[in-house]
Structure 1
């Protein structure tokens, strides 16, 4: 199998699944993505609010699919595969897998074109910072300290075979063989995750959802779930690179 790598002019396509995001961070995320990606592909997972209309209002959203019922936490593999196929149909060179509550630090916009316009590296992993009941502070204690997760930015090869994790939940955002079959590196660039930045009540609802879908902790340790309800988490103030002294 011949894998073609372009050293310049690569098209960057963001892919994102959404569900009932209209009153959360969707506009913020789409505004940010629209400033540096070439195209955006979205799969709606059974939203009952204005999520689809918001997505459709962005010119860079070139593909917008809809599902009548939600697959998240039920058959995440099928959901990811549908999104991936829709993305592949737009002929991307690189794919950025991102959620509707995630934003890269500002430095990413300045560096991403250099990252994708080369022929040696096929994927990048990034450090995740979980903002906790705040848009200014992230959590650093226990299981929530910033670490590098799997790849989120990867080169797409039309003739490659991609395999997805079979888990119903927490199965990863990109094909599981990206790391094993292609050369990549961890990056020091940071992703701000706002999934827990809302109220404690919202975190409690997320906790109940995870417990209901993963009662035996098949996909994540129960201690990690329980730590979501810690009444006194250790937080640290976020600073953009340009603000750091």
Structure 2
């Protein structure tokens, strides 16, 4: 059973080389929609297209993370394009643990689960610190659906950004699922700029004007920003790239 990875992109030059090196090692097809990148994202993607099954599309929508930005439209377009028997939504700043490669053929061949859940590890301020759930802010250390069986009506709900999945006739969580004990690591806040334009809607890093460096000591008024030391091991591609 083959796998299509779908990925929206906007100015991801920091992560794209690492992301593509990793997903091309296990995906049969990669579909990317660029939202109007002005950095080196497109040349990086094109450098992989001759060697791998990568399909690149463009959909420039305006200012990111505003009402001009329709994330569900982009993601559902990729779902419609996917030719694999399974679909995985992996963002450009996310890397699967090395252990995925050994278990992936088996989990895609199984016939019982329609959706596959994975633990997500969200790094916060550096590669040694993980952000975890806190009261009123339970979004950081949950198991999340990142793979599902294609062709059974799973799509994204009509939401502008941070859109969620839905089943054809029921809640997505009502479908048969399986938790795969393979972490997905989210590096957005760990290295590089650690912050993207207009990506502070929740006020967690105190940069409402989108300028300057994140304030990692900032205290949010509505919830605690709770962290814990990272006790695992980064994927090989991250260790090699950063020399850790």
TM-score by length of 1: 0.74
The runs of 5 or more residues in structure 1 that have no matched partner are 1-9, 212-224
How far apart are the structure 2 equivalents of 1:186 and 1:56? 34
Note if contact 1:106-1:240 (Cα within 8 Å) is conserved in structure 2: no
Note if contact 2:121-2:186 (Cα within 8 Å) is conserved in structure 1: yes
Find the partner of 1:184 among 168, 177, 189.
Answer: 177
User: Residue in 2 aligned with 1:85?
Assistant: 80
Find the partner of 2:199 among 209, 214, 230.
Answer: 209
Q: Superposition pairs for residues 161-240 of structure 1, below 5 Å? A: 161-172=153-164, 175-177=165-167, 179-180=172-173, 182-198=175-191, 202-203=194-195, 208-211=198-201, 225-229=202-206, 231=217, 234-240=227-233
Please state if 1:148 is matched with 2:143: yes
Find the partner of 1:57 among 37, 43, 47.
Answer: 47
How much does 1:67 deviate? 2.1
Note if contact 2:129-2:227 (Cα within 8 Å) is conserved in structure 1: no
How much does 1:228 deviate? 4.4
User: Residue in 1 aligned with 2:11?
Assistant: 20
The runs of 5 or more residues in structure 2 that have no matched partner are 207-215, 219-225, 236-244
How far apart are the structure 2 equivalents of 1:237 and 1:181? 32
Find the partner of 1:129 among 121, 129, 138.
Answer: 121
Note if contact 1:71-1:79 (Cα within 8 Å) is conserved in structure 2: no
How far apart are the structure 1 equivalents of 2:37 and 2:200? 18
Give the secondary-structure state (helix, strand or coil) at the position aligned to 1:119. Answer: coil
Instruction: Provide the aligned length of Structure 1 versus Structure 2.
Output: 208
User: Residue in 2 aligned with 1:32?
Assistant: 22
Distance 1:164 1:241, change over 3 A: closer
User: Residue in 1 aligned with 2:38?
Assistant: 48
How much does 1:226 deviate? 3.6
How much does 1:119 deviate? 1.2
Q: Superposition pairs for residues 5-16 of structure 1, below 5 Å? A: 10-16=1-7
Give the secondary-structure state (helix, strand or coil) at the position aligned to 1:47. Answer: coil
Please state if 1:111 is matched with 2:106: no
Backbone CA RMSD of aligned residues: 2.6
TM-score by length of 2: 0.75
Of Structure 1 and Structure 2, the greater helix share is in 1
How far apart are the structure 1 equivalents of 2:234 and 2:11? 32
Note if contact 1:18-1:43 (Cα within 8 Å) is conserved in structure 2: yes
Distance 1:69 1:236, change over 3 A: same
